Chain A
């Protein structure tokens, strides 16, 4: 496997379900990101992990809970979601140098539908 992989690619869940999205990067990067992409809106940064520590939480509702157990894996745990949370969830990774943003490499995304 190369690059950034995400599973599942598609997910349909009810508002009372609990599910998790998984991201794995095979690039040796030290930072990982979760983004939300909704129709007609710019990509929204949700969470950033740098060296496995969370450094950014863009006022995301607590029904989204990230986990970064190591530099290669990132999870997004979902519970009691709302229909407006339906979107494409994208994972990305990058190699940070001196704290500056660098090229981010994206996974294919998980298309989430909340019923």
Chain B
């Protein structure tokens, strides 16, 4: 069974601070996706990384896929209240349709 552990589980920081969220597994994934989910809504895709060592930047968000394709990180600089939400990583499986979702990180940015 593939498992994706996210850390920290909860994070509450002041607006303007930087933060990093981690997604770790002992399994190798074909791709790694990050989603953000707001209360009462479905997860919304932020990014997909597919190559080991890949780094993608979306404005203040930086995503990295580990060289061994087993882990990923999400770094947010100068956090804003609009970044508040549940962040989910999800690993793609080789040769089938399945995604394995992480345990989630609930982020709160305090104005």
User: Are the CB atoms of A31 and B42 closer together than 8 Å?
Assistant: no
User: Are the CB atoms of B45 and A105 closer together than 8 Å?
Assistant: yes
Binds B, one of A65-73, A75-83, A106-114: A106-114
Cα(A49)–Cα(B92), bound, Å: 16
Kindly report which residue of chain B lies nearest to residue A43, judged by CB atoms.
B101
**Size of chain A's interface in residues, with CB distance under 8 A?**
28
User: Are the CB atoms of B101 and A50 closer together than 8 Å?
Assistant: no
Does residue A100 face the partner (Cβ distance < 8 Å to B)? yes
Does residue B59 face the partner (Cβ distance < 8 Å to A)? no
Kindly report which residue of chain B lies nearest to residue A105, judged by CB atoms.
B45
Is chain B's binding surface mostly helix, strand, loop or mixed? Answer: loop
State which of B42, B97, B104 has its C-beta within 8 Å of the C-beta of A94: B97
State which of A100, A103, A111 has its C-beta within 8 Å of the C-beta of B94: A100
Does residue A21 face the partner (Cβ distance < 8 Å to B)? no
Does residue A62 face the partner (Cβ distance < 8 Å to B)? no
User: Are the CB atoms of A100 and B95 closer together than 8 Å?
Assistant: yes
Kindly report which residue of chain B lies nearest to residue A31, judged by CB atoms.
B97
B interface residues, Cβ below 8 angstroms from A: 4, 30-31, 33, 35, 40-45, 48, 88, 90, 92-99, 101-104
